[in-house]
Amino acid sequence: MKEIVLSGIRSTGNLHLGNYYGALRKFVNIQDDYDCNFFIADLHALTTSTDPAALHASVKSVLAEYLAAGIDPEKATIFIQSDIPEISEMYLLLNMHVGIGELMRTASFKDKARKALGIATGDSQADDSEEAFEREIIGASTNKRVNAGLLTYPTLMAVDILIQKATKVPVGKDQLQHLELTRRFARRFNSFYGVDLFPEPTDFDFGGAPVKVPGLDGSGKMGKSEGNCIYLTDDPKVLRKKVMRATTDEGPQAPNSPMSEPVANLFTLLELTSTPEVVTHFRDAYADCSIRYGDLKKQLAEDILAVTTPIRERVSDILANEDYLRRVVRDGAERARARASETLKEVRHIMGIRPL
């Protein structure tokens, strides 16, 4: 019996380098050795997406990008979250054991809620903004609204994992808090009902630390809502332009100076995509002040293209093959539903939802 791995990516547009290094690349690497289940989180995408046509198109493009990156449907179960209605039912049931306080304290909720309300994220006035945040959340002084789905996002994610009884969850660093909540919910459910139903899942990085792929604008994380992404499907011209425009600084002024965040970010990207020799070359050049950021960026753009080009070239062929795409997710849903419905049956019984 292979260990059960599960992970998903939201269908909110094309996949970017953060998705690739945080998740997709790992999916491809482990599919031979584990019982792998990879899905497209379209219900999660609904928490921030309000355009039905865009959502629908994105489910298809993420699926094509999964396949183009090398996930093999003969080895891994690939499915669309909303094709498994058992997930939605268990989401309702598990929510009865989740506190709104713990959900409101989740970093990603605060972040997304602030964005939805147009409140700046914490700085020197963190206390003020925290109070403002709580007032705004209950709608004290705005007609903007934070939808309840955003609040209960971690419940839904926990259900994705627990309904398959997965023990390993390959994700990027930004998802670790959600995984911690999943473990807490699993423990709580087991102990409340005195059962041993759910295993506690852990993140999965084959020994390495979970990665955070930085953005090109000097900020922390590459992300769609940050508007700083390099997409796997970016045309080479567009990609080169994005990299050449990345934020830097005036250059090291003295040997062995500390690095500013934007420059450190470029090195992080270089470490992910280039050879160790290339990284050492530019690190040495930074240390002795001979570095030219233009050269570093040119090299970085070419190394990123070496990763993305084969994927981009495969995507359009795969997208054109609608029958194939449909077959992949139909077979995947069948397999994923089999296990999900078993677990849901157990959960219903344990909670007292039983036939008369």
- Binding flag, residue 157, ligand TYM (CB under 6 A): yes
Any catalytic annotation for residue 221? yes
- Binding flag, residue 152, ligand TYM (CB under 6 A): no
Least distance from C-beta 12 to ligand TYM, angstroms?
7
Residues 35 and 5: beta-carbon distance below 8 Å: yes
> b/e string for 164-188 if b means 16 or more Cβ within 10 A?
bbbbbbbbbbbbeebbebbbbbbee
φ, ψ of residue 276 to 5 degrees: the values are: -60, -35
For the chain, report the end-to-end CA distance as a whole number of angstroms: 36
- Binding flag, residue 115, ligand TYM (CB under 6 A): no
Q: Which residues pair with 78 in a beta bridge?
A: 38
Any catalytic annotation for residue 112? yes
From 1, 48, 18, 75, select the one nearest 221 (Cα to Cα). 18
Give the contact letters, 203-242, x = binds to ligand TYM (CB under 6 A), - = no: --------xxx-------xxx-------------------
Residues 38 and 66: beta-carbon distance below 8 Å: yes
- Binding flag, residue 269, ligand TYM (CB under 6 A): no
Least distance from C-beta 233 to ligand TYM, angstroms?
16
- Binding flag, residue 4, ligand TYM (CB under 6 A): no
DSSP type of residue 231: B
- Binding flag, residue 23, ligand TYM (CB under 6 A): yes
Nearer to ligand TYM, 7 or 129 (CB): 7
- Binding flag, residue 35, ligand TYM (CB under 6 A): no
Alpha carbons 45 and 153: distance in angstroms, whole number: 10
The catalytically annotated residue of 112, 168, 242, 297 is 112
- Binding flag, residue 19, ligand TYM (CB under 6 A): yes
Residues 182 and 229: beta-carbon distance below 8 Å: no
- Binding flag, residue 262, ligand TYM (CB under 6 A): no
Kindly state the number of chain residues that form the binding site for ligand TYM, as judged by CB under 6 A.
Answer: 27
Least distance from C-beta 174 to ligand TYM, angstroms?
5
- Binding flag, residue 44, ligand TYM (CB under 6 A): yes
- Binding flag, residue 86, ligand TYM (CB under 6 A): no
Q: Which residues are CB-contacts of 324 (< 8 A; sequence separation ≥ 6)?
A: 318
Binding window for ligand TYM (CB under 6 A); candidates: 138-146, 168-176, 252-260, 314-322? 168-176
Q: Which residue's entry shows tokens 């995947």? A: 332
Q: Which residue's entry shows tokens 């059962």? A: 195
Alpha carbons 314 and 319: distance in angstroms, whole number: 9
Least distance from C-beta 26 to ligand TYM, angstroms?
9
- Binding flag, residue 8, ligand TYM (CB under 6 A): yes
User: Which DSSP helix (H) or strand (E) runs through 340?
Assistant: helix 322-351
Among 5, 86, 172, 189, binds ligand TYM (CB under 6 A): 172
Residues 35 and 2: beta-carbon distance below 8 Å: yes
DSSP type of residue 74: T
Residues involved in catalysis = 112, 221, 224
Residues that bind ligand TYM (CB under 6 A): 6-10, 18-19, 21-23, 41, 44, 157, 160-161, 169, 171-172, 174-175, 178, 211-213, 221-223
